[in-house]
Structure 1
Amino acid sequence: MREFTVQQNQSHSVLITGSTSGIGLAIAHCFARAGHHVMLHGLASDETAQALRAEFAGYSGNQGFSAADISTEAGCAQLVADTREAIGNPSILINNAGIQHTAPAHEFPAEKWQQILAINLSAGFFLSRDLLPAMRSNGWGRIINIASVHGLVASEHKSAYCAAKHGLVGLTKVLALENADRNITANAICPGWVETPLIQPQIENIAREQQVDLDTARAELVGAKQPMARATNPSAIGELALYLCGEFANTITGAALPVDGGWSAQ
């Protein structure tokens, strides 16, 4: 049986999709602070991209940015090429990019269904497929899929999102099984409510409609689903991802790890 060298203590090249804001950006900062080389990715203007690169310039590792459109197989291939050019071949892949649209299933637009599955699920497959050969050859790799509590349970009006995130959890398990003999792990992180700008409009709507303060509105929004009625800090997702790439997580693979305040425990 081939022996592989454990590489958790060295700097790695890390590709993080959807990392211009929110959870993805927090993950990128966690890995950059730890000394890893980070490839940022997202749909951003040249000015935003330059600002992001400047933001990461103070870290010891190298960094790059790509605006490749990962809704297509060709776009995923472009992102892989951009990453290899900027920071070398990534041994850590974090599939974080995602989009959302809500509507009842019987009214769900076909175009939105296809877009959500393309970005939230298919991109993770194509990027994993393209990067796994080098990981397998090197005998070390980490794939982390940022799924969702909606990869474990369902909510109304989110048929495409739930289908994609459940699929991402299933893909994670297959990748874990297929690569267990190459010192490669694959895991899914499944956040519930996360404290990002995306939830702020919902909080403000509740505050306005119920004539309550923002803290009360936030607890109302989050507590409707989570027994622990507080949202997760995005950095907590980053630190968990970093842990999954570290020394003590060598045998954690094929897991779907909820970070959801007890939402999926109900």
Structure 2
Amino acid sequence: MVTGSTSGIGLSIARRFASSGYDVAVNSFESESEAGGAMAEIGEAAAVCVRYFAADLADAAQSANLVDAVIGAFGRLDVLVNNAGIQKVAPIEAFPPADWDRIVAVSLDSAFHTIRRAVPDMAARGWGRIINIASAHGLRASPFKSAYVATKHGVVGLTKTVALETAEKGITVNAICPGYVWTSLVAKQVADQARVHGISEDEVIREVMLAPQPTRQFVQPEEIAELAAYLCTDHARSITGSAISIDGGWTAK
């Protein structure tokens, strides 16, 4: 199961697992018809079962019930990828409390609820993989992103704690911490910033958005998907409780 998997990083991860022969539970808050394009794209990857589960992960009950629904449909849950997340940029004194609450609910609380429901099923079978998509902002801070930075730090802490609790149960728990990732949403932001600031898109990418990343290159969603797939192999069974950076050298500074 991959939360927030109808676009961007989540969609790439869902496609990668489908291509490896996994049945895939796709999730977003959209209706099933609105998610049809993503479902078709994932289904093209291989002849596996791909099902859509709508849930607003800002709601605790829907987060928990999502796992129950997936296990009910597939009979088991081998891999849980907590990818869903949202962002808001504002100084702390102007940060709307409602936005804070929703970001925490989607990016951190939902991971707690899904993990809490998934662990008993995995432990009963002696095997499971939990992958939380955190961020370089789970290891470093940036101004005006208080809720996002706080939740991603929380996701890293949650990852480490659950890894210790499940270390002898055949379950590994890891966090992937990407830097800036190239998605359609980011592409639109590049174009908008170039227009607003009167500079080229290349200057926006190199001098504004990718200033923290020494490579001056966006991480591609497929890179994150490949790392997630590797973490689910037996070769990665000793990797647990780790926050793995894939950020073009950002956190090396």
**CA apart distance, 1:46:** 3.3
Residue 77 of structure 2 aligns with which residue? 90
Partner-residue secondary structure (3-state), 1:225: coil
1:69 aligns with 2:56: yes
Aligned sequence identity (%): 46
- Structure 2 CA distance for aligned equivalents of residues 260 and 153 of structure 1: 11
After the TM superposition, which residues 185-224 of structure 1 pair with which residues of structure 2 at under 5 Å, given as runs?
Answer: 185-209=172-196, 211-224=198-211
Give the 3-state SS of the residue equivalent to 1:90 in structure 2.
coil
1:167 deviates by 0.4
Whole-Å separation in 1 of the counterparts to 2:115 and 2:204: 39
**Partner deviation per Cα, 1:135-181 (whole Å, 9 max, x = no partner):** 11111111000000010000001111111000000000001100000
- The runs of at least 4 aligned residues of structure 1 exceeding 3 Å deviation read 209-213
Correspondence list, 1:1-266, <5 A:
15-58=1-44, 59-209=46-196, 211-266=198-253
Return the alpha-carbon distance in structure 2 between the equivalents of residues 115 and 222 of structure 1: 25
Whole-Å separation in 1 of the counterparts to 2:247 and 2:167: 27
How far 1:211 moved relative to its partner?
4.2
Q: Contact 1:23–1:234 (CA<8 Å) still a contact in 2?
A: yes
**2:7–2:38: 8 Å Cα contact kept in structure 1?**
no
Structure 1 counterpart of 2:208, which letter?
Answer: L
The question of whether the paired residues in 2 share the 8 Å contact of 1:228 and 1:261 is answered with yes
Return the letter of the residue paired with 1:44.
Answer: E
Change (3 A) 1:52 1:204: closer
Structure 1 residues 206, 102: CA separation in 2 closer, same or farther (over 3 Å shift)? closer
* Residue identity matched to 1:39: A
Aligned to 1:8: none
Q: Distance in 2 between matches of 1:202 and 1:63?
A: 31
Deviation at 1:43, TM superposition (A): 1.8
Find the aligned partners of 1:16 and 1:196 in 2 and give their Cα distance.
17
**Higher mean Cα deviation, 217-226 or 31-40?**
217-226
Q: Which segments of 5 or more consecutive residues in structure 1 lack a partner in the other structure?
A: 1-14
**8 Å contact kept, 1:16–1:40:** yes
Contact 1:84-1:90 within 8 A present in 2 as well: yes
Q: Which SS does the other structure have where 1:102 is aligned?
A: coil
5+ residue gaps, structure 2: none
Deviation of 1:62 (Å)? 1.1
Tell me if structure 2 keeps the 8 A contact 1:149–1:264: yes
Task: Give the root-mean-square deviation of aligned CA atoms.
Answer: 1.5
Deviates more, 1:58-67 or 1:239-248: 58-67
User: How far did 1:202 drift?
Assistant: 2.8
1:139/1:46 Cα in 2 relative to 1: closer, same or farther (>3 Å)? closer
TM-score (normalised: structure 1): 0.90
Can you list the C-alpha shifts for 1:179-227, whole angstroms capped at 9, x where unaligned? 0001110000001110001212331234335544433432223431111
Q: Which amino acid aligns with 1:145?
A: N
Equivalent residue pairs, number: 252
Q: Secondary structure at the match of 1:185?
A: strand
Looking at structure 2, the residues matched to 247 and 218 of structure 1 have their Cα atoms a distance apart, in angstroms, of 38
Q: Say if 1:199 and 1:51 are closer, same or farther in 2 by CA, change over 3 A.
A: closer
